[in-house]
Structure 1
Amino acid sequence: PSTECPAQQRESERVWHRALGTMKISSMSALCLAALLVVTATVSDAAKPLAELSADFGIRLFREIAASAGDRNAVFSPHGAATLMGMVQLGAAGDTLAQLASAMGFRLEGMIRNFLRPGLLDPVLTRMVMLNAVYFKGVWKIPFPVGGTHQREFYKEDGTKMLVPMMSLSAKLNASEFVTPTGLDYDVIELPYHGETLSMYIVAPYLKTVPLSALTNIITASLINEWKNNLETVKRHLVLPKFSLESETDLRKPLSGMGITDMFNEGKADFTKINKTEPLFVSKALQKVKIEVNESGTKASSATAAIFYERMAPLEVVIDRPFLFLVRHNPTGTILFMGQVMEP
């Protein structure tokens, strides 16, 4: 059985906010790594591109997961996966390291000195089991009134309808309409949490006939920044489904789809930075996430640019069709959670 390692957490000097959650790795022996990936000691210009690259890696991994999910709900923590894989990269060498660095878009070697210091790992460790979980609980800055929740129709991608509990809120919200490079209109709405450091973004095609994958396939960290910078504070009546999603994802398939294969192969994996005498490989890479969105807030565990334009926006925004959501740490651009709601 795997043994959860004790916390070896060090605080970064506010590079990653404590609210970003806790990352845990467990193994058959005592594989003890820091709970948060500490990239640099201070918030600097150098840290910002790395945060964006890390977010992009997590978003691309979500695309693989969403493609496999098809018309089913999916929820994932890009931050949790990027943190986990960053730690794995620190122990990798040779082709295994090359695959990780290529897929992730950055190389951590040299950024964190003496991370895997001698004596940290059990010398008889023969394989690694990676378990990733992130916990977050947020309260809306402006809660949805409980009395405003009613049954309303939700349109699935196959055209069928279902009745679901829909929350409603009239308030000044950060919202806008955008268009993809292929000319598809879509809505973006920001729902800030108390303190405004964290926000949930709701992203939905304007037309019910547009598949959600048309948006999933264009999202990047840079595009999300564009949304944030171009949202306008406007009076809106928002109607949004309550939803609760839970998933346990084996990351092996989506990671393999991005070219990360050697670390799962007993004959090819190279983790000699961890142990030079015993061959190591990753036997499992699991992430479990549960998220619930209701009137009070959220409980969770676990280079394409938009063309902006103006049009008459309806006073009522009804999210009665499949949509994407993401929870973002605004100061760093870190994406804590991301998911698709196909059926609330």
Structure 2
Amino acid sequence: MRPALLALLLLLLPSCLPGARGSLREDLGLLRTQLALRLYRDAAAAPSNGTNVVISPAGVSLALEILQFAAQGDTARQLVQALGYSLHAPQVSTSIRSAYAALRSPGRGPQVELACTMFVHPGAAVSPCFMERVSRWANSSLQPAPPREPRGPPTRSGERSRAVPAGGGPAGPELGQAEAAWARLALLSTMSFRSTWRRGFAPADTQPLPFAGARGLALQVPTMHQTAEVNYGQFQDPVGHQVQVLELPYLGSTASLLLVRPRDKDTPLSHIEPHLTASVLHTWMSSLTRARMDVFLPRFRIENHFNLKPILNSWGVTDLFDPLKANLKGISGQDGFYVSEAIHKAKMEVSEEGTKASTATALLLLKRSRIPFFKADRPFFFFLREPDTGFVFSIGRVSNPLD
């Protein structure tokens, strides 16, 4: 099982503490879940997302946390409102730092790597205070960025003037003061999650089965099968739709994949998604019961590429992207930095290792057995999380496993 890989890239142009309210430790898990759902809905609404969606909230949050170390004034306030917490509240900072440390603890089942790197233009001054804060937060670091074509600071109309470094050579430490103040930065946040199922799917039990895809597509998709003790429940969403929920644990039981689908074939997944909230998911997860079931789950691999800038703008994070309003003085103690682009790349793969052949075993079990079954044979929602820390590694939907 290699289900999640994330790379989040924030491109910055050449800004120590915002005053903001903090969150309590026990609320952080719900805040992370709510942020994950918010990201998912906005990403799923993007015109170019296709039928399948995956987004990795943990990496997005880490990058925005790093920016909190730099932000002041309205820029800081907008970041705090978007995340729902401030790192400058001591109890919040301590709680999140402990959670990051727990993810790196040896001996845990899943292998989780979460890190953030800020690439700094050689001509940009970075304060030792900011450098220390970044280097001590969730395995983050600062590195010099490769040289690139320089551009001058924006005018009052927001347009940038061209600038040529001394000697006409590539941008570098020899830049003049004005050009150095507007040098580019890049913030790269990465998250990877790797684990195996606590009870694996046998490759010999994988076979093509029908899948009712989005927009009425009738598909035959490679579908894995196992009979196992799982956490399962049937619930109603807030408006009365019947929902089936299945939780598949990973080795070590410290992380799990939650699958949600409408019980009735005539109820589209799109009727369920708007009513998913952090409190609803929490109630469902805490109400699951152990049951022996036949589980049918299609193999799938999803990779998405999103522009986060319009998403963050819609959340009220606007000053960060405005060259005349951004206040990121925590980077160098001076004005001059703002976010140019926010790119999110996410990938998730669910499979059984070493699949080579398929048989009719699963179909025979389904026909002859009276054991209850969960069959993901139509679009479903998934939620990959670590309950001890509250981190949400990936969230998304599968509408077409072959896409």
Q: Which category of TM-score, normalised to the shorter sequence, fits these structures?
A: 0.7 to 0.9
CA offset at residue 322 of structure 1?
A: 0.7
CA offset at residue 127 of structure 1?
A: 3.9
CA distance in 1, matches of 2:322, 2:13: 19
Assess if the C-alpha contact under 8 Å between 2:380 and 2:398 holds in 1. Answer: yes
Query: Does residue 58 of structure 1 match 2:18?
Result: no
Q: Cα–Cα, structure 1 residues 275 and 182, in superposed 2: closer, same or farther, change >3 Å?
A: same
Q: Give the letter aligned to residue 61 of structure 1.
A: L
CA offset at residue 188 of structure 1?
A: 0.8
1:77-156 aligned at under 5 Å gives the runs 77-111=56-90, 112=93, 117-118=128-129, 120=131, 124=181, 126-156=183-213
CA offset at residue 227 of structure 1?
A: 2.0
Q: Cα–Cα, structure 1 residues 213 and 275, in superposed 2: closer, same or farther, change >3 Å?
A: farther
Q: Cα–Cα, structure 1 residues 281 and 97, in superposed 2: closer, same or farther, change >3 Å?
A: same
Q: Cα–Cα, structure 1 residues 127 and 197, in superposed 2: closer, same or farther, change >3 Å?
A: same
CA distance in 2, matches of 1:101, 1:182: 31
1:194-273 aligned at under 5 Å gives the runs 194-273=251-330
CA distance in 2, matches of 1:239, 1:196: 20
CA distance in 2, matches of 1:332, 1:85: 18
Assess if the C-alpha contact under 8 Å between 1:252 and 1:284 holds in 2. Answer: yes
CA offset at residue 64 of structure 1?
A: 0.5
Q: Give the letter aligned to residue 263 of structure 1.
A: L
Residue aligning to 2:150: none
CA distance in 1, matches of 2:182, 2:83: 26
Cα deviation digits, residues 168-222 of structure 1 (max 9, x gap): 1111110111111111011110110000001011111112332323333233333
Assess if the C-alpha contact under 8 Å between 2:14 and 2:181 holds in 1. Answer: no
Query: Does residue 343 of structure 1 match 2:400?
Result: yes
Residue aligning to 2:121: none
CA offset at residue 268 of structure 1?
A: 1.6
Runs of 4+ residues deviating >6 angstroms: 20-31
Q: How many residue pairs align between the two structures? A: 297
CA offset at residue 326 of structure 1?
A: 1.4
Which deviates further from its counterpart, 215-224 or 20-29?
20-29
Unaligned runs of 5+ in 1: 1-19, 32-39, 298-312
Assess if the C-alpha contact under 8 Å between 1:64 and 1:257 holds in 2. Answer: no
CA offset at residue 24 of structure 1?
A: 7.7
Assess if the C-alpha contact under 8 Å between 1:130 and 1:286 holds in 2. Answer: no
SS of aligned partner of 2:222: strand
CA offset at residue 339 of structure 1?
A: 1.3
CA distance in 1, matches of 2:350, 2:52: 14
Query: Does residue 293 of structure 1 match 2:350?
Result: yes
Assess if the C-alpha contact under 8 Å between 1:173 and 1:191 holds in 2. Answer: yes
SS of aligned partner of 2:332: coil
SS of aligned partner of 2:211: strand
Assess if the C-alpha contact under 8 Å between 2:13 and 2:182 holds in 1. Answer: yes
Residue aligning to 2:236: 179
CA distance in 2, matches of 1:335, 1:63: 15
Assess if the C-alpha contact under 8 Å between 2:14 and 2:183 holds in 1. Answer: no
Assess if the C-alpha contact under 8 Å between 1:141 and 1:195 holds in 2. Answer: yes
Q: Give the letter aligned to residue 83 of structure 1.
A: L
Residue aligning to 1:316: 373
Assess if the C-alpha contact under 8 Å between 2:11 and 2:339 holds in 1. Answer: no
Assess if the C-alpha contact under 8 Å between 1:130 and 1:285 holds in 2. Answer: no
CA distance in 2, matches of 1:103, 1:26: 16
CA distance in 1, matches of 2:130, 2:384: 38
CA distance in 2, matches of 1:29, 1:284: 9
TM-score, normalising length: structure 2? 0.66
Q: Cα–Cα, structure 1 residues 119 and 94, in superposed 2: closer, same or farther, change >3 Å?
A: closer
Residue aligning to 1:47: 25
CA distance in 1, matches of 2:255, 2:51: 26
Q: Give the letter aligned to residue 247 of structure 1.
A: N
Unaligned runs of 5+ in 2: 16-21, 98-126, 132-141, 145-179, 355-369
CA offset at residue 335 of structure 1?
A: 0.8
SS of aligned partner of 1:91: coil
Taking only the aligned residue pairs, the percentage that are identical comes to 31
CA distance in 1, matches of 2:270, 2:62: 26
Assess if the C-alpha contact under 8 Å between 2:8 and 2:345 holds in 1. Answer: no
Report which structure shows greater RCO (CA 8 Å, sep ≥6): 2
Residue aligning to 1:68: 46
Q: Give the letter aligned to residue 85 of structure 2.
A: F
Assess if the C-alpha contact under 8 Å between 1:71 and 1:342 holds in 2. Answer: no
Which deviates further from its counterpart, 265-274 or 104-113?
104-113
CA offset at residue 30 of structure 1?
A: 12
Assess if the C-alpha contact under 8 Å between 1:129 and 1:285 holds in 2. Answer: no
CA distance in 1, matches of 2:229, 2:242: 22
Alignment RMSD: 3.1
Q: Cα–Cα, structure 1 residues 24 and 127, in superposed 2: closer, same or farther, change >3 Å?
A: same
